[in-house]
Structure 1
Amino acid sequence: MEDNAGRMDVQFWKIRNRAGRKRPYELRWRVGTTAHSLSFTTKALAQAHQSKLLRAAKDPATEWDPATGEPASWGRAQADWFSHCVTWARAEWDHLAPNSRRSRAERLAEITLLCMLDESAKARRTRPPDAVLREALIKWAFRPGRAETSPDEIASALAWLAAHTRPVASLGDAEHVKEALAKLTKLVNGKPAAHSTLGNRRSALHAALAYAVTRKIIATNPLTGIRLTRRSFADCEVSPVEVPSVEQAERILAQVRDLPAYGSAPNRGPHLYAFFACMFYAGMRPGEVKALRADNCDLPDVGWGTLTLTGSATEAGELWTDDGTLQDQRGLKHRAVKAVRVVPIPPALVGILREHMAAFPPAADGRLFYDGPGQEIIGDRQYRRCWAKARKLALTPSEAASPVAKRPYDLRHANASLQLQAGLDPAEIAKRLGHSIRVLLTTYAHWVDNGRDAANAKMDAVWGRSSGSSIKALTSVNALEIHGPATGQDGETAAA
């Protein structure tokens, strides 16, 4: 209810003294038709709060919070980081893929622990261990609906976080944000964070502050106006010492095929031989191989074939999928849900896949690769364990001690490097691999050296080390001889 001037109708009752109570002085007021009250230890405090409410009521632009009966801006200024992030996680949950949910929860936990906790002596005395706080944040606070059923240790940690994180408004200016960014350059253990880690944290912080702007907790996002040192892409580059040669890759693949039986899956090695071959010969991601079906394969008797990739199965974890399963079945990475990618495959892989389907008939839903009698989607642990065993058996001691081919994903890197060294058009390579040309060149092209010998030969000619060279380096002696007069004027001499 507003008066003729547009102001909200705010009325107060007389402050009353309720003797015998810890906070005896009660301030009572009504905003519109809703009554509210607060208790204070002294009458002066009650009167001071009443004066603040009266000043706010005189401003017709004041937005009132019906739950507290106070200006909404007061509550926003007091909004703590923990509660804000919990609200944000709940609001964004349905719009994110499972792996994105998990990574965002991990980034928010890192930001919280590094720069948003109350560092007062009182807070430190009751602070739970960092490991407990991290688990409480990632697995309980940022997973909507879980906190209500948390065990006592986690519940205590969540309660501490709710009471001891800094106000979001403390990040409302550039100086405080710069301080936070400085802290984010370190890991929790104090060591320097990688450039990619810092970039991911900055991205999460930027999004959290943008949501704070939406909630009107802060007026603008201060992070947009802060320019840092240009981010290095060194962490995005693939090191050549990790990428196996063709001979090394084929040696490990052969060992996978001949891997002795182990555990409860005696045929896991032979079954996964074609799985890893798809990564090496077709440059596929593990999730894309998991989702590969028989009707996606064109495998002619002679020549090249094609694989039509329609989706991916990624292991996100039960906490992050909508149905509580380990795997998330979705479309291709960074593509529309119904997008497909057609990948040409060489005759070698055509033959491997034909032999695989003859030895291991596809699952009921057409998947070429599965695990156990229930034909479940292969877990990351299963194929990584198989790769580690085969790698150890196939490589020499010195090779095994090196970083080469430590991860199955290095097979995809090997495929990309081979395409680049073969001179294929970068646009075609990016299309086959399923990412942008920029990512392709940032990730791989820096160490492709198929032009090194030609460049060295040209420099030998410049330095006069090759016989019959007619190339002369530009010096003060021959500048005029090579390029003519300095200004181009007739009759000009070197002396002039």
Structure 2
Amino acid sequence: MRISLPSAHRERIVPLTGEQVRALAAAMPARNQAMVIVQAGLGLRLGELLALRVQDVDHVARTVRIEWQFAPQSKVRTEPKTRRSRRTIPLPQVVATAIREHSAQFPPAADGTIFTTRFAGPYRHDYYGSLIFSAAVERARLPKGTTSHDLRHHYASVLLMQGESVIVVAERLGHENATLVLSTYGHLMPDSEERTRRAVDDAWGCAPDVPQATTQRSDLREQAGFRR
């Protein structure tokens, strides 16, 4: 008897570029612009973004602690479903600045919630994702079907393009292991052939020639918005 297993094929992720993320933020209402920067700069799930509080952000240590989430259809904080989802993420300067500027213009709620509606309450997944976010996607002329989860893909792709290991990326995203990162983003890992050549050449003390293609790939990375 022959059993057919489900296909393991995954559609290749085409992450948003830095330019597209900036265009999306600019297309958002003023109250929501920082939400794009924070989600793209920390790789948060939507529920984690909506539940983020002032007390979760340590500007001195330059870290963000993810302890809570809002489940779909809920405005009540709950713990993340997995142990790995509770994590500490390095706070990039661009995100710290976005949070400071947002909080100065739109003060946090009494419980510390950073991103609130004009009625000082938290956002629900459907209201933010289906109405506010989707409208901004259209205004920014991003690919049809772009969702807030694509900002998480952008974050993962940026880390991989800058040489972070799949283990570190999995930790930043709150995945249980690196397998999902490999299966989802493995095709985005750059210069793997060149790293193999360089590893052997370095071990033998040989200075390899730098082919023109390598320079071209670096130029493409700059154009895509992956800048150091």
> How high is the TM-score relative to the length of structure 2?
0.76
Structure 2 contact 89–172 (Cα < 8 Å) conserved: yes
Aligned partner letter, 2:182: L
CA distance in 1, matches of 2:158, 2:80: 23
Of 77, 83, 88 in structure 2, the residue corresponding to residue 335 of structure 1 is 83
CA distance in 2, matches of 1:372, 1:352: 18
Equivalent residue, structure 1, for 2:226: none
Q: How does 1:54-453 map to 2 (within 5 A)?
A: 228-235=3-10, 237-240=11-14, 243-256=15-28, 269-300=29-60, 305-316=62-73, 326-335=74-83, 340-373=86-119, 375-384=120-129, 385-395=131-141, 400=142, 402-403=143-144, 406-435=146-175, 436-445=177-186, 447-451=187-191
Equivalent residue, structure 1, for 2:203: none
Q: Quote how far apart the aligned CAs of 1:452 are.
A: 6.5
Aligned partner letter, 1:438: T
Structure 2 contact 38–98 (Cα < 8 Å) conserved: no
CA distance in 1, matches of 2:178, 2:75: 29
Structure 1 contact 275–369 (Cα < 8 Å) conserved: yes
Aligned partner letter, 1:282: L
Larger radius of gyration: 1
Equivalent residue, structure 1, for 2:210: none
Q: Quote how far apart the aligned CAs of 1:380 are.
A: 2.1
CA distance in 1, matches of 2:181, 2:58: 26
Superposed CA RMSD: 2.7
Structure 1 contact 315–328 (Cα < 8 Å) conserved: no
Structure 1 contact 238–413 (Cα < 8 Å) conserved: no
CA distance in 1, matches of 2:179, 2:192: 22
- Structure 1 residues 276-323: Cα deviation after superposition (integer angstroms, max 9, x where no partner): 2121000001100111110110124xxx8211111110114xxxxxxx
Structure 1 contact 299–354 (Cα < 8 Å) conserved: no
Structure 1 contact 272–383 (Cα < 8 Å) conserved: no
Aligned partner letter, 2:37: A
Aligned partner letter, 1:379: R
CA distance in 1, matches of 2:37, 2:117: 17
CA distance in 1, matches of 2:146, 2:96: 26
Where do 4+ consecutive residues of structure 1 move more than 3 Å?
Answer: 452-455
- Structure 1 residues 219-247: Cα deviation after superposition (integer angstroms, max 9, x where no partner): xxxxxxx9832332324x5521xx21111
CA distance in 2, matches of 1:372, 1:453: 51
Counting aligned pairs with the same residue, the percent is: 27
Secondary structure of the residue that 2:71 maps to in structure 1? strand
CA distance in 2, matches of 1:410, 1:233: 21
Structure 1 contact 283–433 (Cα < 8 Å) conserved: yes
Q: How many residues align?
A: 196
Aligned partner letter, 1:305: R
Structure 2 contact 72–126 (Cα < 8 Å) conserved: no
CA distance in 2, matches of 1:356, 1:227: 59
Structure 2 contact 57–63 (Cα < 8 Å) conserved: yes
CA distance in 1, matches of 2:17, 2:193: 19
Give ranges in structure 2 of 5+ residues lacking alignment: 198-228
Over 3 Å counting, the alpha-carbon distance change for 1:378 and 1:227 in structure 2 is farther
Equivalent residue, structure 1, for 2:216: none
Structure 1 contact 312–333 (Cα < 8 Å) conserved: no
> How high is the TM-score relative to the length of structure 1?
0.37
Q: Quote how far apart the aligned CAs of 1:451 are.
A: 2.0
Structure 1 contact 369–378 (Cα < 8 Å) conserved: yes
CA distance in 2, matches of 1:251, 1:413: 16
Aligned partner letter, 1:342: T
CA distance in 1, matches of 2:71, 2:9: 26
Aligned partner letter, 1:239: I
Higher RCO, Cα 8 Å, sep 6+: 2
CA distance in 2, matches of 1:246, 1:453: 25
